[in-house]
Each structure stands twice: as structure tokens, then as C-alpha cells.
Amino acid sequence: MISKLPLKIVGGSQFSRYPKISRESTYNMRISDAALVPYFGYRKIKDIRPGGSVGRSVYTSPKYQHQIAIIDNGVYTISNDFAVSLVGQLDTSTGPVFISENNASEIVISENSDNIYVFNYSDETFQKINVGFISGYITFIDGYIVAPQVDTQQWRLSALNNAKSFPFDSQHIGELESSPDVVVAAETLERQLFIFGKNITEVWLDVPTSSALFPFQRQNSLSIEYGCISTSTIASGFHRIVWLGSNESSGPSILVSTGSTPKKISTDGIDFQLDNLKAPEDSFGFLFEEDGHIFYQINFPSDNVSYAYDFNEDKFFNITDSQLNAHIARRLSFFNNTHIFITDRDGGLYEMSSELDTYKETTDKDDEGLTIPRIRIPPPSRLKDASRFIINNVNLTIEQGYSDEQLDVHLSLSKDGAQSFGTKWSKTLNPMGKRANKLLYRKLGSANDVSFQFQFWGKDRFIVTDAEMEVYQ
């Protein structure tokens, strides 16, 4: 008897603990309009500091209309035409760096030391200020620069629109109140102030009263029993704040809050992956929107893995470089109508976009870029009674005739519970103008449990919908 079974091509990565259950995964692709399409390529647009440099942070100032990039110990401004100027230097050349600004033309830089740096773009001055405490992840709200007093219960407010002054008095010092924890970061979400500890997070509101000297009050109705493992994973925007959190009773989880009690966006499978990280504290995360989808991308350099979460689709995807190692992006900001990131691999600025189908890591005009490895492993195919079947064919619906590039689709099978994949059957997509969208693989053998691996290989886009498998019992 011949029957046809669906083959789920359009999907994300499930991270099942045991491959036998499912090894469903998607590498460097995403979902758009119910089809599987490429995740974003990138290209280097500027070498700020060539050589063995380390990109540490990047920030876009809406008022100054410039981008600020920290490469090694250098503080650089980038204009809309990508002209670069060195405006100052930090004491350190490695480690996390955090940037904010106030309404007095002051861009403030913190590097987990007792010094902050203030660049005033109106009078073009750059000053190092000893604030008398170790500050970390800083933010701005209602005229104040808010800085954690790292490894204490206190967090500090600057003078109003004066980042050079952090008065040591009751009007400018807050404390974690709900638990004996230490402060590691401060971030804002739509006029809510999130104060992160290692194990808990508190939310404060600016509601000054005549009877209270300190302008902020804790929101007692909101209890967040998770702190922050890595402050470099905190990202705020698009009506949400996301971070890598944990507490005294649990391992790492990716959390999101829209201003209320946070929820875990991690699944059982991704939690298992996070629990097995060797260095979850070495991680970086950022939020961005592209093609109407909001993504959170998180990178773990020491563990050599990166993931992207699409809030629109509620799915995770594996993200890699050209060699299936961790993605190179460290921090990202939106500038000049494009997404710009820095990397710890060099001192360059990179554009990331859905219009780019390769990884171009030089500014050479003749560089065609590196091929992005794009892989889809659907859930395993089994009959309900576990009986054996013959695979007559697999019919894949895919865009063809769009490109002059050679685009190939490699199919390989696993019959051992997705532990290993065998011989590749390769098909080259039709050349420009020949738009038939059917790709057929015939006579693929027999099995009672089979996993398919599709590799989409080429320097242009792939658009794929769900497939169908014809089997004979």
C-alpha cells in the first residue's frame, strides 16, 4: 500500500535531550510567511581598528545622531557617512563595557571599575571621573544615570542630568530590599527601573513624594525571583526586557518581562542545553527587529554556541558562523537605518540584514563572502505501529529559477535515531528563469524510523515550504 506522509520542513530547533526522541533543528534559517527562509547574513562595512582588536560595545545616540563604538580601549564616534573619530581612551582593553546618555549631551561609559567616562558631544570633551564605587551596567531614566554599586546591595543615582556627580546621600542611594542579594545591573523598560541582583530582580518607579527624599519606590506587587547571570545578556526594547537569569534553586534560563512577572522563553530542550554550558556567564545578548519579526540573539563564546529566538513564531534557531561555530556578533545597535554589530574577533563594524545571503568578513569589494551553512533536520518519520516502510520519494517544494548562483540541496538520512547521517543525495536548483518548484528525491531505501537532513548550500537565498514523503508498506 502506497501512502503519503507529511515532512515538516518549516520549523525551529527543539533541542530534545535525547536524539532518538527528535533531533529537530534549524541552522541559520528562520520562518517567514509559513516558509523556511535564510537567517540574516552580514558584511563588514568599516575597519575601525584593523588587526587583532576586540569589539567591546556599540551604542546609537538618537540625540547626537552618531554611533559610539568601543574597540579595545578606544572610544570612537561614527557619523552617518561612517566617518570615524577617536574621542577618548579607557583604562582597560578587555571586558564588558556599558553605555548610556542623559539629556545634557553626556554619553556615559562604565567598565566595571570605580571610574566612569563622560563624553560631552556639545563641547567635545572626554573625561574620566572617579565616582568612588565600582559601577557596572548603567541606564538612564528621568534625568538620572542609574549605576549599580557592584557587589553591594546599593545602586546609585547621578545628579540630575550631570553624570559627573553621584552624590553620596539618601536622595541618591537605593538598596535592594526584598532579599540579601547584591546588585549587578540597572536597566529601564518604559519608565520602569529594573534593578538586577544575582538571584532576584526588583522593579522601581519614579514617584517622588513630599515625604520621601529618595525619588524611586519599589513596586511591591511585582516579585521577580530570578537574578542575572550575565549582565551583557540584558536587552530592553520593543515593549520587553530579556536576560539570562537564574536563582539559588535553578540553573540558567532565558527570561522576558513586559513590565510584569517574567516568563521563561526557554523550553525543556533549551534549558537542558543551558544547564550543560560550562561558562554561561560568558555570554552576550541583544534584541532587534527585522522584517516585522522581533529576535533575541544570545551567544556563548566559551561554549561555542549561539541561539536566536523569534518572538513572533515562539521558536528557537541555531545560529553559527561559516564553520558552524558560534556566531560572531557581540553587541548590536540600529544606526543609519541598518543593524550594526561589533565582534570580539576584530575591530570592525558589520551590517546584518535579510538582504545579505553570505558572511562577508572583509571590506574588499571583490570579496564574494563566505557561504552560510543552512541546515534543516525535521522531526523523525515513523509509523504508529513502528512497522517498516520503503521510501519511494521525498518531494520538496522550493523556490527555483531565481538566481544565477549555483544553489544545491543535499539530502542525507539517518536510520540510527539521528546519531549519524549517511550518503548525500545532491540536487542543483534550476538556473535563472526555470521556475519549476518541485525537487524530487527517489528510491531512498527502507526503514521503520528515519530522520532527514537537508543542507541548503549556495550564496543566495533559499525559500522552502513543507515537504511530503511517499512510502510503500
Task: Provide the pLDDT for residue 20.
Answer: 67
Alpha carbon separation from 151 to 154, 181, 183, 228 (Å, rounded): 8, 9, 6, 13
List pLDDT tens digits, range 268-308. Answer: 888 889 999 999 999 999 999 999 999 999 999 999 999 99
Domains of the chain: 2-39+374-472 (2.60.120.260), 41-371 (2.130.10.10)
Pairing relationship of beta strands 293-300 and 284-290 according to DSSP bridges: antiparallel
Task: Provide the pLDDT for residue 210.
Answer: 55
Task: Provide the pLDDT for residue 188.
Answer: 97
Q: Low-confidence residues of the chain, pLDDT below 50? A: none
How much is the pTM?
A: 0.95
Task: Provide the pLDDT for residue 200.
Answer: 95
